Amino acid sequence: MDGVAVLTIDNPPVNAVTVALARALGDAAAELDTRDDVGVVIVTGGGTRAFSAGSDIAEFSGMLGPGEAVERKLRPQMIAFAALADMRTPTIAALNGICLGGGLEIAACCDLIVAEEQVLLGSPEIKLGVFPSSGGTFRVARRIGHGRAKEMQLLGEPVTAETALQWGLINRIAPRGQGMRVARDLAAVLMARPPRALGLCKSVIDATHDLDEAALTERSLDASEQAFTSAECAEGVRAFFAKQAPDFRATNAGASS
């Protein structure tokens, strides 16, 4: 689909997250976010077994000394995942299989999450004597609240796609094998929306837990000023009165040429 980029987590058999994979994911997200020809990014897993079963535990054995895990794995992963979470471009996670540990941390960086009906989602890190350490604690809590995040992360037991939908952790359930189709349907809707306004809206929502109400008010007003004075808004108003579908992408292409 024009304007939709797909990032695939590809580390068979279960797409385990290594430091190198996390860095590659972050670098790809940062690069895609600079491209005017990319309007939506879908993140999915290679194969059919897993979106990602979490971190490659083999990496842990060499990182158990003071400061080693943080500096060699966790901080680089935090930086990489933040690149995905902070994209102005809308993102969709398409969960095609199990989504555990670091896999859930990656999915939680995305704006929308589609999970196939058979998918289990969880944060089992506590069973290894650790906890989600690359943003999963706060990103999952922001989606589902403290109580449910603690249930997932303190007990370490997975939840079904149906439970995840009820909790607000995911946005859509797809039939088995249809996760990418549903994600692409959502991407098509987003591609018809005004890209600048999408990014501005994301920036205000994402600041919800970081700023007090007064600061959020100013952030929202500043973003609204940019939206209302944009070519996108002019096109939306024109199309409304003309009873036509707005062509926001053409408007932006014309503005940047």
- pTM for the model stands at 0.94
Whose structure tokens read 């999963």? 136
Annotated catalytic residue within 31, 68, 71, 105: 105
Closest-CA residue to 90 (of 187, 207, 179): 187
DSSP 59: G
* List of residues 6+ apart from 141 with CB closer than 8 A: 149
The pLDDT tens digits of the residues spanning 227-247 come to 999 999 999 999 999 999 999
Whose structure tokens read 């500096």? 71
Known active-site residue 117: no
Strand, helix or coil for residue 112: strand
- The string of DSSP codes covering 158-184 is -EEHHHHHHHTS-SEEE-TT-HHHHHH
Is the pLDDT reported for residue 98 higher than 60? Answer: yes
Please report the domains of the chain, with CATH numbers, ordered by start residue: 4-191 (3.90.226.10), 195-256 (1.10.12)
Q: How far is CA 45 from CA 32, 54, 96, 134, 243, in A?
A: 18, 12, 6, 19, 41
Radius of gyration of the chain (CA): 19
Q: How confident is the model at residue 67 (pLDDT cuts 50, 70, 90)?
A: confident
Annotated catalytic residue within 116, 125, 232, 235: 125
**Average pLDDT score, the chain:** 95
Distance CA 30, CA 125 (A): 27
Known active-site residue 218: no
What separation, in Å, do the N-terminal and C-terminal C-alpha atoms of the chain show? 23
**Cα–chain center distance at 118:** 20
The pLDDT tens digits of the residues spanning 165-207 come to 999 999 999 999 999 999 999 999 999 999 999 999 999 999 9
* Percent of the chain predicted with pLDDT > 90: 91
Is the pLDDT reported for residue 30 higher than 90? Answer: yes
- List, in sequence order, the alpha helices (H) in 89-212: 102-107, 136-144, 146-155, 161-167, 179-191, 195-206
pLDDT at residue 213, rounded to an integer: 95
Distance CA 22, CA 73 (A): 9
Q: What is the mean predicted confidence (pLDDT) over 106-119?
A: 98
pLDDT at residue 257, rounded to an integer: 35
